[in-house]
Amino acid sequence: MRALVQRVSRAEVRIEGDVVGAIEDGVLIFVCAMAGDPPNAPEKLAAKIAKLRIFRDDDGRMNRSLLDVGGSALVVSQFTLAADTRRGNRPGFSSAAPPDEGEIRYLEFVSAVKDLNIPVATGTFGADMAVALVNDGPVTIWVDTDG
């Protein structure tokens, strides 16, 4: 699995103008299931992100995790994270998991984050969504489970 994690002071996702998920301090996680992901990929990715030391400590250094600060997560499915841009100008997405498998992995990832006692808001898999955020820092981290 692949994720783009952004530390945020707030974030929301809208579908057809209606807010379907919103958080205050925490992380916005764009997540993509990749073809061939092992069954434990959602749990592995959730644990990695929850422990990333990307929040400020008392000295202003990035030394605290989402678990440490009690932050929330807004999880949004985004198959375009699988884009292959090595040839031509049109991205290819063949490395993304097929939609039915992608949705299962997405839901498993959401469940794995919740199992870590992190408050979670979500978008809707496969929907046309508008995401708004205030990136705190800015801090943006790319995370792969590496198979």
Catalytic residue among 79, 109, 122, 145: 79
Q: Which of 78, 109, 122, 145 is catalytic?
A: 78
Q: Is 6 a catalytic residue?
A: no
Q: What is the dihedral of CA 42, 133, 81, 52, to 10 degrees?
A: -40
Would you call 80 a catalytic residue per the annotation?
A: yes
DSSP string, 24-67: SSEEEEEEE-BTT--TTHHHHHHHHHHH---EE-TTSSEEE-HH
79 is catalytic: yes
CA angle (62 as vertex; 50, 27 as ends), nearest 5: 40
Catalytic (active-site) positions: 78-80
